[in-house]
Structure 1
Amino acid sequence: MTKVIIFDFDGTLADTIDILLSITNRLSAEFGFKSATKEELAQLSNLTSWELLKYSGISIFKFPLLIRKLKAELRSEIPTIELFPGIKEVLLELKKLGFQLGIITSNSRENVLASLENKGLQDTFTFIYSGSTFGKHKVINKWLKKEHINAEEVVYVGDEIRDIDAARKTGIKVVAVGWGFNSQEALAAHSPDFLITRPQELIEVMSNLG
């Protein structure tokens, strides 16, 4: 029986794609990589994180510093961040149904918590953990061990191919959402357990699993 739902934040709960694109483009000259237009995102949405890194031309050695600066600049944008339509209602309904909700994200915990407080959702989640861009599975494994929870009791919800990969590495089921960064076609090609296109569908999926 599924008891815990872990969410990614950016692109899954929060519509931060345009904001992140704007900040990333501002930092492109400083870090020496290609900027991207909004129109190019459709093409980029079919790439994995490693393919995206290679496409951009950024040095792997500069990448950690870029991510830290990105998170820092995102902090000032918190008041403008909106949740995807229907997300808040779905979260409250899942909580009401008895699921424990958490967030494991590559964004900073401070950014996520500030955004949730801005939306009145700070008490909806039992835990919020931050991990590296490519190390989300390590955070999940650490949490599973700490809380003595079986992987069979957990579902991860995310919008990127790397979310599917992280879930696979930890043995938990994954729900891919089609409204975030990676395209539905790209997500489907990596065979998530479920692929949904509307937030409300998550209640149906979880009711069947629960």
Structure 2
Amino acid sequence: MDAPNITRNRTIMNTQKKLIIMDFDGVITDSLEVVYQVVSQAFATVGIPLSLDAYKKFFLINPKLAEKQLTSDEKKFIDVQKYIHQNIPIRYKKVKIFQPMIEIIQKLHASAELAIVSSSQSEVIIEKLKKYSLDQYFSQILGADKEVSKIDKIKSCMDKSGIEKKSVYFISDTVGDILEGKKMGIKTIAVSWGFHNKETLLGATPDKILTEPDELLTYIIK
């Protein structure tokens, strides 16, 4: 008797499952104030002032590319990144997870595979998730140390999961992320409790805009 085709069976199973890829900052964590303080201080060290409004505009595109454009100097860019990398892990300890997201992550995991793609460092993400006993619910965590482009990170998540494109959701709170999700041809969900407000997010024409965390359950789990 032939051995069962395990790969084929897994593929069949995955066509019936959903993959939910989530941004971290602004979707899961209430981190805008802390992250902005670190980034603005990093730019101050190279003589560049950065307002909160200007910082939020970084996320109309890829934030790392925006940081590079603002410095317009390779050495300054490296110095800014070094400051951020050294200080975010320390300052991020103050950041809290949005309380409703704890139960929502648990409930989403019951019917879908969960992954995180983020511009934050993977170790910072994992440490925060562990503090809330949420790390067990995510099969993949791809931070800034993995890829710069979220398109590449989303593609990596999709390839590894084997879940077909029509069953993939990408949740973010920024225009730049939503645009990258749309380029991948997956369902995009914009949430307005993070870095960008509803009016700003409308410009990216996501498949859905949600204003309350609980709406994630009603929209995704049908």
Which of the five TM-score ranges fits, normalised by the shorter chain? 0.7 to 0.9
Q: Distance in 2 between matches of 1:157 and 1:78?
A: 21
Checking the alignment, whether the CA contact within 8 Å between 1:79 and 1:118 is kept in structure 2 is: no
Runs of 4+ with >6 A deviation? none
Unaligned 5+ segments in structure 2 are 1-15
* Counterpart residue number, 1:176: 190
1:43-62 mapped onto 2 (5 Å cutoff): 45=56, 48-49=60-61, 53=66, 57-59=70-72, 61=74, 62=76
Checking the alignment, whether the CA contact within 8 Å between 1:3 and 1:100 is kept in structure 2 is: yes
Matched AA of 2:172: G
- Give the deviation of 1:93 after TM superposition: 1.6
Unaligned 5+ segments in structure 1 are none
The counterpart of 1:141, out of the listed 155, 174, 182, is 155
TM-score by length of 2: 0.80
- Give the deviation of 1:50 after TM superposition: 6.6
Which one has a bigger Cα radius of gyration? 2
Q: Distance in 2 between matches of 1:9 and 1:124?
A: 14
Q: Distance in 2 between matches of 1:173 and 1:46?
A: 23
* Counterpart residue number, 1:130: 143
TM-score by length of 1: 0.84
Checking the alignment, whether the CA contact within 8 Å between 1:32 and 1:58 is kept in structure 2 is: no
Please say if 1:163 is aligned against 2:174.
no
* Counterpart residue number, 1:150: 164
Please say if 1:83 is aligned against 2:97.
yes
Checking the alignment, whether the CA contact within 8 Å between 2:35 and 2:88 is kept in structure 1 is: yes
Of the structure 1 ranges 57-66 and 120-129, higher mean CA displacement relative to structure 2 is found in 57-66
Checking the alignment, whether the CA contact within 8 Å between 1:11 and 1:17 is kept in structure 2 is: yes
Please say if 1:99 is aligned against 2:112.
yes
- Structure 1 residues 46 and 29, CA gap change in structure 2 (3 angstroms): closer
* Counterpart residue number, 2:221: 207
Q: Which secondary structure state, in structure 1, belongs to the residue aligned with residue 205 of structure 2?
A: coil
- Give the deviation of 1:26 after TM superposition: 1.6
